[in-house]
Structure 1
Amino acid sequence: MRNILPLLFTILFLSCKDDILPKPKGYLSLTYPTKSYKKLDLERPYSFDVLENTQVINEANNWLTIKYPNLKASIDITYRPVENNIKELLTEAEKLVFKHTIKADQIIPKDFINPKKRVFGSIYDITGNAASQIQFHLTDSTKNFIKGSLYFYAKPNYDSILPAVSYIKEDILRLIETLEWKQ
């Protein structure tokens, strides 16, 4: 009986522990509003579709700020007329993109060409903790030049903002695809 009592306590003590199970992976569940677009209703030398639940802020010199208040982000649009300086404008736009090389893990360029609407340009996906995650420029190569940059009003942490970047990238692609120059 003396030998059995310690054995029973040991069995009882060991049997009361919970099994250690790996935790299931948790996924962040983000919901964004359903997208609905409208034409830009400001007088500009250009026109494109913007998301209805954004705030479009009219800036001087045909510039715009498209704010996403719920995401604490904005797309800053600058406009410059082409006056025999297209090469200078393109070089300046690319310099601004590649300033992010220090913090970026990767910069992926993609060209955009729509000869029917005379819209030519590039979009740059910037991965990593850079200040801007998407930049683009568009031109008709003779009269108009637009540059756009996506910024978040927070310290850049790419993993955290990636879902919001993907959400806004759809809007930037819609902007590019619907851009029309006014003559």
Structure 2
Amino acid sequence: MKKHFYIFFAIVGILTACSDETLPKPKGGLRLDYAPAEYEKITTEANCPFTFEVNKLSHLQQEPNKCDINIEYPAMRATIYLTYKKIDGNITKLLKDAQKFTYEHTIKADNIASTVFANDTTRVYGMFYQVYGDAASQSQFYVTDSVRHFVSGSVYFRAVPNYDSIQPASSYIEKDVQKLMESLRWK
């Protein structure tokens, strides 16, 4: 009886295995959807000489009595680091340092695209650098009024720099950096 039982299930298994068609699975990818950005004007804790707008999904961290600000994106494991410097006859050095810092990424970057930013009405002038490739930072920028104030910034992810993997988050934060530059006002 046991022998017939095993033979029966073997035959059923062979017949049912042959009847199923093998279909290839469709190609797919990781889909990362982020909430639409909503911006709010921030006031710094240290009475910094500037204001700007940030995405409500971010969190600000600022050391007491300093105008260096970290804008954290916990869901994306990313941070925008802002550094403020007062211009004291050293605008050329500040500009060279910001550009040098950006172009140090050429070792790992495939390309670095620069975009000039100028708003004569608010006296905010600067440069935005988009870094393509497996570099440590995907975006760098600076803004200045060319007389008294200089703010530089960079975007870093707390992950191994793999451009394909962080590209959706990088594109999202890039728009926030552009909004920050557009909304920045000197006091």
TM-score (norm 1): 0.87
- Cα shift readout 1:13-55 (whole Å, capped 9, x = no counterpart): xxx4876765422132112123211111212111100111211
Tell me the secondary structure at the aligned position of residue 44 of structure 1: coil
Correspondence for 1:116: 121
> Could you tell me which residue of structure 2 aligns to residue 98 of structure 1?
103
Runs of 4+ in 1 over 3 A off after TM superposition: 16-23
Partner of 1:57: 61
Match of 1:35 among 34, 37, 60: 37
Question: TM-score by structure 2 length?
Answer: 0.85
Measured against aligned partners, the alpha-carbon deviations of 1:61-102 in whole angstroms (never above 9, x if no partner) come to 311000001110000000001111111000000010011010
Provide the C-alpha distance between the structure 2 equivalents of 1:20 and 1:159, rounded to a whole number of angstroms: 31
Amino acid at match of 1:96: F
Q: Which of 81, 93, 100 pairs up with 1:76? A: 81
Do the aligned partners of residues 106 and 18 (structure 1) sit closer, same or farther apart at CA in structure 2, a change above 3 Å counting? Answer: farther
Do structure 1's residue 159 and structure 2's residue 164 form an aligned pair?
yes
2:130 alignment partner in structure 1: 125
Count of residue pairs the alignment pairs up: 170
Residue among 87, 110, 117 paired with 2:92: 87
Aligned-residue RMSD, C-alpha = 1.9
1:20 and 1:108 map into 2 onto residues whose CA distance is 46
The residue number in structure 2 matching 1:176 is 181
Q: Provide the secondary structure at the position in 2 that maps to 1:70.
A: coil
The CA distance in 2 between the partners of 1:87 and 1:162, in whole Å, is 33
Q: Report the 3-state secondary structure (helix = DSSP H, G, I; strand = E; otherwise coil) of the residue aligned with 1:133.
A: strand
Give the match's secondary structure for 1:105.
strand
The whole-number CA distance in structure 2 between the counterparts of 1:50 and 1:86 is 26
